[in-house]
Amino acid sequence: MEYIKNRILSFKYAFWGIDTLFRETPNAVIQLVAAIAAILSGLFFHITNAEWLILILSIGGVLTMETINSALENLSDYASKKEMHPTIRKVKDLSAAAVLIMAIAALAIGLVIFLPRIIHLFS
């Protein structure tokens, strides 16, 4: 019974993390709005199952990278008492770069999926 209780608690903590992400990270809110726009566009344009899978993975990738970035930034700030050590700066810059790389990839995916449909819509 203790095992089940611990599993339930782990989900509770994960949902608290999601809540913290969107309450404390403005970029995550922007990314969520972009994700909702992409999902609505997918519904509007009737994208294929394969396109849905790629879209879902890219949305998940961006939000996951933002979550990891936020966790590393919080841990770095705590560990350094908010003093900017060169190694802390490097860690924070690299984790931000990971988010940017994934966001650029997601943008490229969105363009590949939606741009031809948007062009066709207006032609």
The 10s digit of each residue's pLDDT in 38-74 is 999 999 999 999 999 999 999 999 999 999 999 999 9
Global pTM reads 0.92
Burial environment of residue 80 by CB neighbours within 10 A (0 to 12, 13 to 18, 19 or more): middle
Q: Specify the amino acid at residue 120.
A: H
Range 2-121 has CATH code 1.10.287.3610: yes
- Per-domain residue ranges of the chain: 2-121
Q: Provide the CA 50 distance to its chain's centre, in angstroms.
A: 20
Mean pLDDT for the stretch of residues 76-99: 95
Predicted pLDDT of residue 1: 86
